Amino acid sequence: MPDADAPVTDVVDAVVVRSWARLAAGALGRERAAIDQVNVFPVADGDTGTNMHLTAREGARAVAAAPDDAGAAALLRRFARGALLGARGNSGVILSEWLRGVAIAATRGDTVARALDVAAGSARSAVAHPEHGTILTAADVAAAAAHDVAARAGATADDVLEAAVRGAREAALSSVAVLAPLARAGVLDSGACGLVLVLDALRVARRFARDLGASEPDVSVATTTMLNVVPVTLGLDLTGHDAVAPADPFHDHAEHSDADELEVMFVLRRPAGAHEFAPGGVAEALRSDLATVGGSVVVVGGSDLGTDEDSAWQAHVHTPDLGAALAVTRRWAGRGRVEPAHVRHLAVPDSSLTVVAATAAPALAAELARAGAMVLVPVPPVGVAARDLALAALGAGARTALVLSPAADAVRSAVARLAEEHEDGASGDVVALDAPTDVHVAVVVAALAAAADDPEADVVDAVRGALGGLQAATTDAADAVGALRGLLEGGGDVVTVLADDGVPETVAKELDAMAAESGAECVLLRTGRAGTGVALGVEG
């Protein structure tokens, strides 16, 4: 029979999957800046290229770690699961679900054309409110083009893949005329452009393995050669379309997202064999819950990859109300294991440095995110481990990640272990500094904001200086005034007060008055946490 009718695993064998994973991650890495630049929808936060690259990179790492004798279907499942657990942003989550659809189809023996159809449908169903002209449209058009060619007499698998790439590229090119924000900015849809790269990487991986007859032991050499000799490129002019006037890519941010929205992502795990929900019911219920607290809701994952591992879902939402989103995570913690929520602010500009910190205080987490930090919030009973912080730092996409932790040594060890596990190493420098309490984290983020106004400042030195000059205490509302009096005996310029929601306003006013009497500025932040705890910091 023509190989267009063959199962996916005959067309995309183990050699091709290993090559595809590395090629896709490499191509997205090369084009990440160009794709970031045209990211205007659904939120103009300029990180689609970065997020898709980091997502594909985690998938590729999972494939690279597979045993040498792993078959194609097993490798595709690893590719999808690695991407799922390492997904970044809206686009990365959708890409991971598209890969998951391919893996499901391959596991049950579908053809390539059918696999692309399953992947497109899976990705679309994961999005609460899909829009036409996005990565979802590119996936749909690619699948339809593949089906059309596969139905022709004598069609080959290579013909099918060529048609899929052409379809995705045509959809990306037409996206500027479909979505109003893209038309006003004069750019193509960033997610669609990313999918073109991923599909083209598959086409090239298949062609390279077929033409050279690469065998499994030589795959690492083959893919390295491929990256250098047979580059995968978009082949698209992302901007400058004559039909529209180019505009500021960030022009439409307010139209699609509240300027103060936060992105919240978390992973839900459930034991294999947990069946109180119908198939697809977990994702549907979680998607419904998140839709009540924000927009851009995407939930991907599940238990139908043919493995005995715990089921896993990655959830994503944009919300102005972090407390409400975290309430959803706590409810679901009663139905499974919810890993720490990752919180970042959507309007924070790109920077060469990312701060990674953890706090259990919702309001403080929101303030830290608004100041530019990536914040991990534990979802009891699961805490934030050193490995969680290390993974967040290595996946931040910045040249330097500054991790603030009560256990900086453990974070440094975790970073070193992760770098050893992955052939491609870390994506940037990671600096871990001891920050024993929330007040240390708050003071550091404030110091970074001040250093940002001075182009000559060494930000890491500024942070070390802030930590070195800080006196801190953790107490209760009843003892807070006395504790602050003791800290101020040696003088101070700035007083930071982190007060739980049960701390009376009278106590907050007393602390502010005491700081003023000593000539210090007082910064008071509510934590958003129940209780009467108070964390105090005095600088200077």
For residue 449, which of 459, 439, 436, 440 has the smallest C-alpha distance? 459
* Local confidence band at 410 (pLDDT 50, 70, 90 cut-offs): very high
C-beta of residue 483 within 8 angstroms of C-beta of residue 515: no
3 state DSSP class of 308: coil
**H helix intervals, 86-218:** 89-107, 112-125, 135-150, 157-174, 180-185, 190-212
Mean pLDDT, range 410-436, rounded to an integer: 81
For residue 126, which of 157, 155, 101 has the smallest C-alpha distance? 101
Residues 6+ apart with CB under 8 A from 487: 471, 472, 473, 536, 538
Show the tokens assigned to 395: 């996946």
Percent of the chain with pLDDT over 90: 59
Report which secondary-structure segment, H or E, holds 81.
helix 72-85
Query: What residue ranges do the domains of the chain occupy?
Result: 3-236, 260-348, 465-539
The reported pLDDT for the residue numbered 350 is 60
122 has pLDDT over 90: yes
Mean pLDDT, range 10-30, rounded to an integer: 92
In tens, the pLDDT along 154-207 reads 899 999 999 999 999 999 888 888 767 777 778 888 889 999 999 999 999 998
For residue 322, which of 269, 374, 361 has the smallest C-alpha distance? 361
Give CA angle at 391 (286, 18), nearest 5°: 85
The reported pLDDT for the residue numbered 533 is 96
Show the tokens assigned to 18: 């290993």
Mean pLDDT, range 33-59, rounded to an integer: 82
Entry pTM = 0.84
What's the distance, CA 367 to chain centroid? 20
Specify the CATH number of the domain 3-236. 1.25.40.340
Query: Hey, do 3-236 and 260-348 end up sharing a CATH topology, with the first three levels equal?
Result: no
For residue 99, which of 88, 75, 83 has the smallest C-alpha distance? 83
Domain boundaries 260-348, CATH class: alpha beta
CB atoms within 10 A of CB 335: 15
The reported pLDDT for the residue numbered 175 is 86
* Local confidence band at 476 (pLDDT 50, 70, 90 cut-offs): very high
For residue 298, which of 88, 40, 59 has the smallest C-alpha distance? 88
| CA distance linking residue 89 with residue 83, whole number of Å | 12
C-beta of residue 279 within 8 angstroms of C-beta of residue 325: no
Show the tokens assigned to 490: 């040696």
Specify the CATH number of the domain 465-539. 3.30.1180.10
